[in-house]
Amino acid sequence: MSTDIHQAIRTALQDAHKVLLVSHIRPDGDAVGSLLGLGLALKSTGKEVQMVLVDGLPRSFRFLKGSELVQRRPKGEFDFSIVVDCSDLLRTGGVLGDRLPDLNIDHHVTNLDFARINLVMPEAVATSAILADYLPEWGLNFDEMIASALLTGLVSDTLGFRTSNVTSHALRLSAALMDYGAYLPELYNQALVRRSFEAALYWAQGLGRLQRQNRLIWTVLILEDRVKAGYTGNDDADLINILSTIDDTDIAVIFIEQKENRVKVSWRAQPGIDVSQVAFQFGGGGHAAASGAEISGVLDEVKSRVLQATLVLLENNTNHKNGEKNAETDSPAKSL
């Protein structure tokens, strides 16, 4: 990464006075961690900072110090805007309106480079990891609260260091954040292990509809499921990550019915399969192994279209692997 962009970010942040930070709808741990980590770092330099999540802060991350500062809508004026962990501007929920963001910091390969300054690093395991790497270069410092937020983002997006993109550098970053006071056992437990009773009841609805075709599994969560379970979120309560652990499965998909004939779709894939290709077809994005999209349409119709496209991807991937095996078998043996 060119040093020019980091100098540009450092200068821009130094010149900013009233900063607005936003991330994506239905925020996950990396959205929360990167928003809070960068926001607190900027506040520590004396800047006025607003941290905004349209869908609010998920209950599972309210244990983080400083999380009470996160609000649903911006208030008053701001002279600098930053979008973190968000692949396109629509996913902010319209917080900025038609205004071009000043800075976009992200690690999604499908990012659309929608800001005046774009720092997009798909090789990073999390947006929080990018911030952990470069805050000092931008003239910002760490403390326990900032380190805890960033480590939460890093742990969340790697599913506890289990994703295939985890590197030794990511582990060293985590150790450095722990040296600033972030307590890994608590962050891990809160972000990835603990679940509400309502979330477990919600999972039961989806697990009861689980289906399989070849090495693809999927399930559906309808609006009524939330009411029955008493679950207040509009997501899947991370059920997709449970589905992705099922044996003999290459791709897991979950369909979450939303209001106004919209459906949230999440994909998870085993290493070597890029589900971001399918998500992008439906206006979404993400990573090779974990992607999502929000699609207009009736649930059954959306499900049919998405499953068809996902099965095509799975078939093409299988044919490609078989072709490689055949090529190895047909190649002449090397002389010894």
Q: Cite the residue boundaries of each domain of the chain with CATH code 3.10.310.30.
A: 197-323
Q: Is the pLDDT of residue 323 over 80?
A: no
What are φ and ψ of residue 104, in 5° steps?
-125, 115
CATH assignment, 197-323? 3.10.310.30
Q: Is the pLDDT of residue 242 over 80?
A: yes
Q: Which residues contact 139 (CB under 8 A, 6 or more apart)?
A: 10, 13, 14, 45
Q: How many helices (H) and strands (E) does the chain have?
A: 11, 12
**Is the pTM above the cut of 0.95?**
no
Dist CA 261 CA 140 (whole Å): 44
Dist CA 56 CA 62 (whole Å): 10
CB atoms within 10 A of CB 56: 14
Three-class secondary structure of residue 327 per DSSP: helix
The 8-class DSSP code of residue 70 comes to E
Q: Mean pLDDT across the stretch 242-252? A: 96
Q: Is the pLDDT of residue 89 over 80?
A: yes
Q: Is the pLDDT of residue 14 over 90?
A: yes
With beta carbons less than 8 A apart as the criterion, state whether 84 and 78 touch. no
Task: Return mean pLDDT, the chain.
Answer: 93
Superfamily (CATH) of domain 3-193: inorganic pyrophosphatase (n-terminal core) (3.90.1640.10)
pLDDT at res. 334: 35
pLDDT at res. 321: 64
Question: Which two three-digit tokens encode residue 256?
Answer: 């979450």
The 8-class DSSP code of residue 99 comes to P
Q: Is the pLDDT of residue 217 over 60?
A: yes
Q: Cite the residue boundaries of each domain of the chain with CATH code 3.90.1640.10.
A: 3-193
* Band of pLDDT at residue 326, cut at 50, 70 and 90: low
**What are 51's strand-pairing partners?**
21, 70
pLDDT at res. 325: 54
Q: Mean pLDDT across the stretch 239-251? A: 95
Dist CA 189 CA 159 (whole Å): 11
Dist CA 180 CA 171 (whole Å): 15
Q: Is the pLDDT of residue 270 over 80?
A: yes
The structure tokens 């369909």 sit at 255
Q: Mean pLDDT across the stretch 24-48? A: 97
* Band of pLDDT at residue 332, cut at 50, 70 and 90: very low
The one-letter amino acid code at 216 reads: L
Which residue from 162, 218, 215 is spatially nearest to 191, judged by alpha carbons? Answer: 162
* Band of pLDDT at residue 1, cut at 50, 70 and 90: low
Q: Mean pLDDT across the stretch 109-126? A: 95
Dist CA 278 CA 285 (whole Å): 8
Question: Which two three-digit tokens encode residue 214?
Answer: 């070849």
* Band of pLDDT at residue 169, cut at 50, 70 and 90: very high
Q: Length of the chain in residues, anyone?
A: 336
Q: Is the pLDDT of residue 328 over 70?
A: no
* Band of pLDDT at residue 3, cut at 50, 70 and 90: confident
User: How open is the CA angle 328-332-333, to the nearest 5 degrees?
Assistant: 90
